[in-house]
Structure 1
Amino acid sequence: MIAVILSAGMGTRLMPLTKDIPKPLLEINGVTLLERMIKNCMNAGITDFILIVGYNKKKVYDIAPELEEKLGVNIKIIENEDYDVTNTSVSTYLASSYIENGPLDDFILINGDNVVDPEIITRIAETENTSMIVDNFKELNEESFKLILEDVKVNDDNSIANGTIAEIGKGIDIPSSTGEFIGVSKVVKGDIPRFNEILQILIDEDPQNYYDFAYRTLSNDTTIDYVLTNGLKWTEIDDHNDWKTANSLVDEFEN
């Protein structure tokens, strides 16, 4: 299995913290977000990584060999040269098309500005199907990347749901939403060709599209497991309030 970590964004809402470095290289308690996420993946048995870079890419190139030697992992770096005029659909396609045409394998896709309970990565790594982590616990707001599932079936221990995605995005109705997609997902190798076809359509429509939208179409073509957080904590880091939350969560996880 491969872990793809999206690390190309500019992090404008975190300025001046991100003036000279991409968000994944921000440090909490002396450890970068990137190293912390790599360790989370290693706990799930993953040692092969693809980093998609763009903004301040040289900093990632510089640190990658150090992480390989320190952690005993393999890191492949792929550049999104148009990072400033595209969005995550393009960055994801660069990685998933490389995997389809090369080391074909299941991959976990992670937004590089996430801080998560390590158990979240372990749980999604163990699923047999293409899957998404869905927070069914936290209160939703207008910025939450919400989804509405149809024909939902939940397993006996309330850890995994199945169904098709009726809607996904920030603008959908909060009371109708099943939960929030947290930016951690998995595509099994048998679904990668179709996933790439859908991504290409999204990119042709608008290179500013999010990769997240691909799962709506994919959910009608294959089985997707929605792994429920059931209270496991996480945060994405978009702004300074999120940064404070991330620091608090790391202290909690480490203690």
Structure 2
Amino acid sequence: MTITKAIILSAGQGSRLLPLTRDVPKCMIDFNGRTLISWQIAALVANGVTDIVVVTGFRTERVEDHALQLYRETGARIRCVFNPFFQVADNLGTCWIVREEMDRDFIILNGDTIVSDEIVAKLIAGTQDAITVTVDVKPDYDDDDMKVNRDESGRLHHIGKRLLPPDTNAESIGMLAFTGEGPAIFRNQIDQMMRTPEGVERWYLRAIDIIAKGNRVGTVSIEGLEWQEVDFHQDVEAATALTAKWVAEGRYGR
């Protein structure tokens, strides 16, 4: 399996990180000499993903300028699409804005998740279904985790923050692959949901939960591999420690 395109959802401000994000988008937070989005792009490029679309919103001009810099550094084709509704719509709306870019096999990545290159490689190698969700497995899950119920074959049955503990056996890390018919299935579901009054309030993973009721949605476990979501101030500390380790290892070079 080869996937060369990615969409990064980076429209939000990251209000839970204020005052750190008062004038800086979350994706532009510096971690040991690289921005969050630079770490993401480095992991993607290391796996041959060189056509990257970044959906922007808050302080879009900063991200657009930085994307040009990253293009010069990596040689990857990095383009920004501005979401003018980022303040009033959740990330389902962000996906809808960029739906025309879902024109072939692609990876979608939340703009607040730092992943290692091994995780990207494992997702690409393990993608067998039209839609594949990257999951981690932990002893327990908190209220903020995007919880997953999957069976022994890896098929996802439900995904959402409100899953009860007995029904939860994995966590989505905010990265999915869409291959074959997957992009069209996802586009159609997004469009249907955005035509409803509550569409602007939905998360895009709600679309995956609905799709899973009638289609096989696969999962790939990255248990034991390194990643970090950046939502709260303690996450900034954890991401700083993780990326410091990667810098010491010489990961991705400069």
Q: TM-score, normalized by length of structure 2?
A: 0.89
In structure 2, the partner of 1:125 is: 124
Of 233, 242, 246, the match for 2:235: 242
Q: Which amino acid aligns with 1:114?
A: T
What is the root-mean-square deviation in Å for CA atoms of aligned residues? 1.6
Describe the shift of the 1:89–1:123 C-alpha distance in structure 2 as closer, same or farther (beyond 3 A).
same
Of 213, 218, 222, the match for 1:225: 218
Q: Which amino acid aligns with 1:192?
A: P
Q: Which amino acid aligns with 2:53?
A: I
Of 56, 68, 71, the match for 2:71: 68
In structure 2, the partner of 1:137 is: 138
Q: Which amino acid aligns with 1:128?
A: Q
Using the aligned pairs only, state the percent identity. 27
Question: 2:122, 2:222 within 8 Å by CA — same for their partners in 1?
Answer: no
Cα distance per residue 1:2-31 (max 9 Å; x no partner): 111111001111112111111111111110
Cα distance per residue 1:181-219 (max 9 Å; x no partner): 110111114222221121123322331210011112222
Match runs of 1:107-186 below 5 Å: 107-126=106-125, 127-129=127-129, 130-137=131-138, 139-149=140-150, 152-154=151-153, 161=154, 163-165=155-157, 167-186=158-177
Question: 1:135, 1:228 within 8 Å by CA — same for their partners in 2?
Answer: yes
In structure 2, the partner of 1:22 is: 25
Question: 2:160, 2:209 within 8 Å by CA — same for their partners in 1?
Answer: no
Is the partner of 2:24 in helix, strand or coil?
coil
In structure 1, the partner of 2:252 is: none
Q: Which amino acid aligns with 1:148?
A: N
Moved more, 26-35 or 129-138: 129-138
Deviation of 1:245 (Å): 1.1
Cα distance per residue 1:117-138 (max 9 Å; x no partner): 3211111122233211111135
Question: 1:117, 1:253 within 8 Å by CA — same for their partners in 2?
Answer: no
In structure 2, the partner of 1:197 is: 188
Describe the shift of the 1:77–1:226 C-alpha distance in structure 2 as closer, same or farther (beyond 3 A).
same
Deviation of 1:98 (Å): 1.3
C-alpha distance in structure 2 between counterparts of 1:125 and 1:221, whole Å? 23
For the pair 1:58 / 2:57, whether they are aligned, the reply is no
C-alpha distance in structure 2 between counterparts of 1:113 and 1:138, whole Å? 23
Gaps of 5+ in 1: 155-160
Q: TM-score, normalized by length of structure 1?
A: 0.89
Question: 2:93, 2:199 within 8 Å by CA — same for their partners in 1?
Answer: no
Cα distance per residue 1:72-114 (max 9 Å; x no partner): 010121111010000110111222x2124xxx21110001111
